Amino acid sequence: MAQNLHSSKSPFALIKQKINTQGLEFHSQHLPPNYANNPEITSPLDSLIASIVKAEKTNLASLIRAGLTNGKAAEPVPYLAKLVTSVYTAMDPCFKDRSEPTGGQFQSEHHQRGQRILATRLPLCGS
């Protein structure tokens, strides 16, 4: 059942493949006889593997997040207008003295531009 939900390259599928390709000594020591054909055994084994993979994924995500922040708060994402202004300033010196617009200013300019475009297209829709 759980095997159908996992792609062939997922950690779950790779672990199941590794278990299935182990030798007879491993199978006789760690698994009951004919375990692959017994859903009463494979279902709990699949659940165990899935829970271990999920726990390891959570641990890895926590380590990545901790390593990315270096103990400092993340900087907020800048407004698009601020990014565009900084790109233009870097490309052409004539934009050097232009002030960076605030988010509200950019949104109102964008809203007005959208209204003008809408006003020009409305008569076309009716004809």
Distance set, CA 107 to CA 9, 82, 93, 104, 119 (Å)? 44, 12, 25, 5, 18
User: By C-alpha distance, which of 101, 81, 97 is closest to 89?
Assistant: 97
Q: At what angle do helices 80-91 and 103-126 cross, to 10 degrees?
A: 100
State pLDDT tens for residues 92-113. Answer: 777 666 666 555 555 566 566 6
d(CA 80, CA 82): 5
pTM of the model: 0.46
State pLDDT tens for residues 23-63. Answer: 889 988 988 888 888 888 899 999 999 999 999 999 998 88
